[in-house]
Amino acid sequence: MNSGKTVFAQLLQYVQRYEFNQCVWRYHGNYKVRSFSCWEQFL
């Protein structure tokens, strides 16, 4: 039986959304993106 968080939820715990967005902004990761953002691709 599952008594805690899923593995996926535990992994996302270590990825700070703010820091991820800073990297995307710095390297222009979402340049000319229409529907599938860097965050969605990461997930």
Per-10-residue mean pLDDT of the chain, 43 residues long, equals 82 89 94 92 90
What's the confidence (pLDDT) of residue 24? 94
Tell me the CA end-to-end span of the chain in Å, nearest whole number: 25
Distance of alpha carbon 28 from the chain centroid:
15
Coil, helix or strand at residue 26: helix
Closest by alpha carbon to 30, among 17, 15, 41?
A: 41
What's the confidence (pLDDT) of residue 25? 96
Longest dimension (CA), the chain: 44
Structural domain boundaries of the chain? 7-42
Which distant-in-sequence residues (6+ apart) come within 8 Å of 21 by Cβ?
39
